[in-house]
Structure 1
Amino acid sequence: MTSTTPTTPTTAERAEPAAATRAAARVPAAALPVSVARGCRFELVKLVSQWRIRLLVLVCWVAPGLFVAAVAEQSTLPSDTLFGRWMHATGWAGPLVILAFAGTWALPLLTSLVAGDVFAAEDRLGTWRHLLVAVRSPRRIFVAKALASLTVIVLLTAGLALSGVVGGLLTVGHRPLVGLDGHVLSASDAAGKVLLAWACALAPTLALAAIGLLGSVTLGRSPMGLLLPALVALAMQLAQLLPLPVGVRVALPGYAFVSWNGLFTDPVQSGPLLIGVGVALVWAVTATALAYLLFVRRDFTNPAAAGAGRRALAVGVLPLAALLAVSVAAVGAAAPATGSGITRAKVQRSLATAFAHLYRVQTADLHRPAVTEAQLRASAACTKSGVGDGAQGAGNDWRCVVSWHLPDVAATGQAIYQLDITADGRFVADGDGPKDVNGYFLVRTATGDAPNPLWQFDGNVELLAAAH
């Protein structure tokens, strides 16, 4: 019987499993991309850490309230601004004055400073390689940067709105507001419409922000990417001043900065507002999608790819130009109005309606017997530079005679107004006699002495309404 002696492993054999274990440990596991939530939080921290963003947040959340409070203490009002003449009467006029200014200047500049620089900053600093190594997904980088810039822009817009509201309510109070057709909105109704107007203005702000993202991706280090949203907004404002067809002006993505005026008429002029908001949102989605396609196809290993090439400009510009052409054609086909949208019949109807509503306000202020719009049967006859039935278009050469009737009074009352109508349909009616009706004199209201409501007032012509 043969005995077997167990074999003892050698030192080399014992070291093989340990070496294999160490080698396996040295093999890196498959690297997973950073989640969108973490990437967005990282990008948000980067944005907020910039001194200019912190300064913008402070200004947006403080300056509007201080401005409204300061105007409330002054004897003169910004009557050339929409709702400016009512800033002593109600706290809800202040945020609307801020909104008119923000849509013209503040919001385009904010989108330029935030969205217009969110990608270009990485090009200037040369940090794309580090960011790609950390996040490991260009798609998630784009989504994180877009969401972070959107969050900051919404925060700044909310600050402008809430600061104006707080400043107005603290200094003037929660009081009724006179609308653009002269009818009086209750304080609660005014509050809802003010907040809705700011929400509608967010749509063109998002469109400009998306254009800023596209410019930042396309133009790289060039400062034109930073200026692009502001330049586009300026071009749209100039277009609103030109004698362009109404279909072209309404189809611009910034028209919702103007069309919120229709919320303050009765009935609400919802057509231009809905079209303006819809067009702005379509532009926001399209421009963001174009920026995304350009970004994920970029060659980050080539430093020369940071600038704008012909292909990038073609992909970024031509689809937006086509979208504008389609929007103009669609609005022109669907809207009943042609030309400027400002016709003699519309002006007469808007002026007569506003006069009738404000006549009742004046009657209550002067403690006269109450009268209804139906009893007044107000009407207007307008001419423009000597033109009668064919009068149309914007201008400061409109002259109108308003007629009305009082119960148990045989004579017909008449008042003369000079109208200055802008291309967007807003007009300012300036009383030109008789003095005891629409002249300048003070009336005693619940909030103190105020100018005669029939002396000067704002109105709005609905551009897309059919002329009767």
Structure 2
Amino acid sequence: MPVARAYRFELVKLVSQWRIRLLVLACWIAPAGFVAAVSRQSTLPVDTLFGRWMHATGWAGPLVVLGFAGTWALPLLTSVVAGDVFACEDRLGTWRHLLVAVRSPRRIFAAKALAGLTVILLLVAGLACSSAAGGLVSVGDQSLVGLDGHLLAPGEAAVHVLLAWVCVLAPTLALAAVGLLGSVVLWRSPMGLLLPALVALAMQLAQMLPLPVAVRLALPGYAFIAWNGLFTRPAQLGPLLIGVAVSLVWAVAATALALLLFLRRDFTNPADDGSGRRAVTAGLLPLAGLVAVTVAVLAAATPATVTGSGIRQAGVERSLATAFAHLYRMQTRQLNRPAVTEAQLRATAACTKGDVGDGAQGAGNDWHCVVTWHLPGVEATGTAVYQLDVTSDGRFVADGDGPKEVNGYFLVRTPDGDAPNPLWQFDGNVELLDHPMKG
């Protein structure tokens, strides 16, 4: 049986399973309903990236879903599909019949891997298309506010949303390859089914710890959050490209290990359920070694940028001032005031972290910043106070603390009525790599 016929056979087997059909149906329907329902609520998920803009544009919805998918949905989906693609044959005892029909372990592996990949891509496409459709139908095709406060026109927002979903395919493939490896190594053990989700959970916990940037970038899960850099101007492509590259290396390495172990398997011994020793020596140790090598390469390539957390005082001040300047112009248009440019505003920020006034760095909710700006023809300097909560991945939430007429209240009074104040609370992103790595 050639690979094409074996692939069609394996694909039919997969989609004939009731749980796969339910997953496909849910991925193509549920996100649209979720985005439409949330967009009509008075309370938005402001603790989720782009959640505060779901009333303003339909393009915020798919990004909110993407954040949830990278954390929970995609690891679970890859577990269900890739983590069981080989183990199901062990539970059913059908390896002998499959080998007689196909006659080539290589073809079996290729057909199963391609069938699982096809279903995973179908699920990801459903999440992206459904959430975008729900947002556009319920809210509309308006401009999207980026993470540095600049406006993305509807067409530009659509391209960036699509690129963000394409970028998370790389870590999804890495988890799928880990699922294939677990399914081959652990056979009928249920741990093979859980392996991608457990690996993803471990990487999420690692991203929450105060680890050096090199360690963060060396984990394939970083690409699940690095797409944030697409929504700044200029785009922060350095961490994103590194994250995608690391994920693809993981996908190739884990798939190669799975193929090697599959070809060495003795299918004449149905009593063998796999061994914990083989799982460690053939699965865990090579991937741990890959992380160590990647950390060493990144540390050697950019020694000045990866030795610490990457969250430095200068970067926080630069990101906050840039976002404030863009959002101040938005507030100016809301209030029908004379137009002003970022160059005219000359916005700057001065930040401290706790008791540290010079050289502050690291994540935390104790960042205190004062933004200053200038208006043409006005001698007085404007000031605004912000409290920042900076997470370990560089994302921050700026909470306005006065003056009231600038950022101290969540509404502003416009000629058309009260409207959300863009300067009251907003999200931002600190670039963890220094300027030479900028995209």
**Alpha-carbon deviation of 1:312?**
5.0
Instruction: Spell out the pairing of 1:326-337 with structure 2 (5 A cutoff).
Output: 326-335=293-302, 336-337=304-305
Paired letter, 1:165: A
Question: Is 2:97 the partner of 1:130?
Answer: yes
Question: Is 2:396 the partner of 1:427?
Answer: yes
Question: Is 2:373 the partner of 1:404?
Answer: yes
Aligned counterpart in structure 2 of residue 297 of structure 1, from 256, 259, 264: 264
* 1:397–1:422 distance in 2 versus 1, CA, 3 Å: same
**Alpha-carbon deviation of 1:443?**
3.9
Q: State the alpha-carbon separation in 2 of the partners of residues 85 and 464 from structure 1.
A: 27
**Alpha-carbon deviation of 1:140?**
0.4
Paired letter, 2:82: A
* 1:370–1:203 distance in 2 versus 1, CA, 3 Å: same
Give 2:428's aligned residue: 459
* 1:132–1:444 distance in 2 versus 1, CA, 3 Å: farther
Give 2:313's aligned residue: 344
Give 2:339's aligned residue: 370
* 1:447–1:286 distance in 2 versus 1, CA, 3 Å: farther
Give 1:52's aligned residue: 19
User: Is the 2:62–2:135 contact (alpha carbons within 8 Å) kept by the matching residues of 1?
Assistant: yes
Aligned counterpart in structure 2 of residue 286 of structure 1, from 253, 258, 266: 253
Q: State the alpha-carbon separation in 2 of the partners of residues 449 and 239 from structure 1.
A: 42
Give 2:176's aligned residue: 209
User: Is the 2:82–2:183 contact (alpha carbons within 8 Å) kept by the matching residues of 1?
Assistant: yes
User: Is the 2:174–2:247 contact (alpha carbons within 8 Å) kept by the matching residues of 1?
Assistant: yes
SS in 2 for 1:457: strand
Moved more, 204-213 or 132-141: 132-141
Max Rg structure: 1
Moved more, 448-457 or 229-238: 448-457
User: Is the 1:384–1:397 contact (alpha carbons within 8 Å) kept by the matching residues of 2?
Assistant: yes
Give 2:281's aligned residue: 314
Instruction: Spell out the pairing of 1:152-167 with structure 2 (5 A cutoff).
Output: 152-167=119-134
Q: State the alpha-carbon separation in 2 of the partners of residues 404 and 82 from structure 1.
A: 27
What is the TM-score normalised by the length of structure 1?
0.91
> 5+ residue gaps in structure 2?
none
Give 2:355's aligned residue: 386
**Alpha-carbon deviation of 1:305?**
3.3
Q: State the alpha-carbon separation in 1 of the partners of residues 394 and 344 from structure 2.
A: 28
Identity value in percent: 78
User: Is the 2:185–2:278 contact (alpha carbons within 8 Å) kept by the matching residues of 1?
Assistant: no
* 1:226–1:447 distance in 2 versus 1, CA, 3 Å: farther
CA deviation profile, 1:102-135 (whole Å, cap 9, x unmatched): 0000000000000000001111111111111111
> 5+ residue gaps in structure 1?
1-33
Instruction: Spell out the pairing of 1:25-424 with structure 2 (5 A cutoff).
Output: 34-308=1-275, 310-311=277-278, 313-335=280-302, 336-337=304-305, 338-424=307-393
**Alpha-carbon deviation of 1:333?**
1.9
User: Is the 1:247–1:332 contact (alpha carbons within 8 Å) kept by the matching residues of 2?
Assistant: yes
RMSD, aligned CA: 1.4
User: Is the 1:298–1:305 contact (alpha carbons within 8 Å) kept by the matching residues of 2?
Assistant: no
What is the TM-score normalised by the length of structure 2?
0.97
Q: State the alpha-carbon separation in 1 of the partners of residues 257 and 3 from structure 2.
A: 20
**Alpha-carbon deviation of 1:61?**
0.3
Paired letter, 1:379: T
User: Is the 2:189–2:273 contact (alpha carbons within 8 Å) kept by the matching residues of 1?
Assistant: no
SS in 1 for 2:365: strand
* 1:137–1:306 distance in 2 versus 1, CA, 3 Å: farther
Paired letter, 1:270: L
**Alpha-carbon deviation of 1:316?**
1.9
User: Is the 2:71–2:204 contact (alpha carbons within 8 Å) kept by the matching residues of 1?
Assistant: yes
Moved more, 299-308 or 157-166: 299-308
Paired letter, 2:409: Y
Moved more, 248-257 or 305-314: 305-314
User: Is the 1:212–1:226 contact (alpha carbons within 8 Å) kept by the matching residues of 2?
Assistant: yes
Paired letter, 2:205: L
Aligned length: 434
**Alpha-carbon deviation of 1:193?**
0.3
Give 2:405's aligned residue: 436
Paired letter, 1:53: I
Q: State the alpha-carbon separation in 1 of the partners of residues 418 and 57 from structure 2.
A: 14
Structure 1 residue runs of 4 or more that deviate by more than 3 Å after TM superposition:
443-450
**Alpha-carbon deviation of 1:447?**
10
**Alpha-carbon deviation of 1:440?**
1.7
Q: State the alpha-carbon separation in 1 of the partners of residues 419 and 19 from structure 2.
A: 42
Q: State the alpha-carbon separation in 1 of the partners of residues 215 and 416 from structure 2.
A: 43
SS in 1 for 2:370: strand
